[in-house]
Amino acid sequence: MENIDWGHLSFGYNKTNYNTRCYFRNGKWGKIEVSSSEIINIHIAATCLHYGQEAFEGLKAFQGKDGRVRVFRWEENAKRMQSSAKGIRMAEVPGALFKEMVWKTIALNREFVPPYGTGAALYIRPLLIGTGAEIGVKPATEYMFMIFVTPVGPYFKEGMKPVDMLISREYDRAAPLGTGNIKVGGNYAGSLNAIQSAHDHSFANVVFLDAKEKKYIDECGPANFFGVKNNTYITPKSDSILPSITNKSLITLAEDMGIKVERRKVPVEELETFEEAGACGTAAVISPVKSIYDPATRKTYTFYQDQAGPVSQELYNRLTAIQLGDMEDKYGWVEFVD
Site for ligand PLP in 90-119 (CB under 6 A): none
Among 93, 160, 245, 286, binds ligand PLP (CB under 6 A): 245
* Nearest residue to 251 via CA among 280, 221, 219: 280
Residues 32-61: x/- map of binding to ligand PLP (CB under 6 A)? --------------------------x---
Which of 91, 102, 140, 242 is close enough to bind ligand PLP by CB under 6 A? 242
Exposed, middle or buried, 278 (CB in 10 Å: 0-12/13-18/19+)?
buried
How many amino acids of this chain bind ligand PLP (CB under 6 A)? 12
**90 near 46, Cβ under 8 Å?**
no
Q: Which of residues 257-316 bind ligand PLP (CB under 6 A)?
A: 281-282
The conformational region for residue 316 under phi > 0 = left, psi -120 to 50 = alpha, else beta, is alpha
Rounded to a whole number of angstroms, the minimum distance from the CB of residue 240 to ligand PLP is 10
CB of 235 to ligand PLP, least distance (A): 11
- Smallest distance from the beta carbon of 224 to ligand PLP, in angstroms? 5
Comparison of 101 and 250: residue with beta carbon closer to ligand PLP: 250
Pick the closer one to ligand PLP by CB: 53 or 77: 77
Neighbour-count burial for 256-266, b at 16+ CB within 10 Å, e otherwise: eeebeeeeeeb
Helix (H, G, I), strand (E, B) or coil at 19: strand
Distance CA 77, CA 57 (A): 6
Nearer residue to ligand PLP within complex by CB, 91 or 242 = 242
Angle of helix 74-87 relative to helix 245-256, nearest 10 degrees?
140
Helix (H, G, I), strand (E, B) or coil at 42: coil
* Residues within window 122-151 making contact with ligand PLP, judged by CB under 6 A: none
Give whichever of 69 and 182 is closer to ligand PLP, judged by the CB atom: 182
Of 61-69, 241-249, 252-260, 290-298, the segment contacting ligand PLP by CB under 6 A is: 241-249
Nearest to 304 by CA among 157, 161, 127: 161
Q: Which residues are known catalytic residues?
A: 183
Could you tell me the CA-to-CA distances from 107 to 68, 116, 160, 210, 315 in Å, in that order? 12, 17, 31, 42, 30
Q: Within a 13 Å sphere around the CA of 3, how many CA atoms are in the beta-carbon half?
A: 2
Cβ at position 58, least distance to ligand PLP in Å: 5
**Among residues 131 and 282, whose Cβ is nearest to ligand PLP?**
282
Beta-carbon neighbour count of residue 302 at 10 Å? 16
Q: How far is the CB of 283 from ligand PLP (least distance, A)?
A: 7
Q: Decide whether 58 or 186 has the Cβ nearer to ligand PLP.
A: 58
Q: Which of 246, 287, 291, 313 binds ligand PLP (CB under 6 A)?
A: 246
- Which segment (111-119, 237-245, 252-260, 317-325) binds ligand PLP by CB under 6 A? 237-245
The nearest distance, CB 148 to ligand PLP, in angstroms, is 16
Going residue by residue from 186 to 225, which x/- string records binding to ligand PLP, judged by CB under 6 A? Answer: ---------------------------------x--xxx-
- Give dist(CA 22, CA 37) in Å, integer: 14
Between 134 and 219, whose beta carbon lies closer to ligand PLP? Answer: 219
Chain mean position to CA 228: 21
Beta pairing, strands 143-152 & 69-72: unpaired
- The answer to the question of residue 244 lying near ligand PLP (CB under 6 A) is yes
In a 13 Å sphere around the CA of 72, the CA atoms on its Cβ side amount to 27
Site residues (CB under 6 A) for ligand PLP?
58, 219, 222-224, 242, 244-247, 281-282
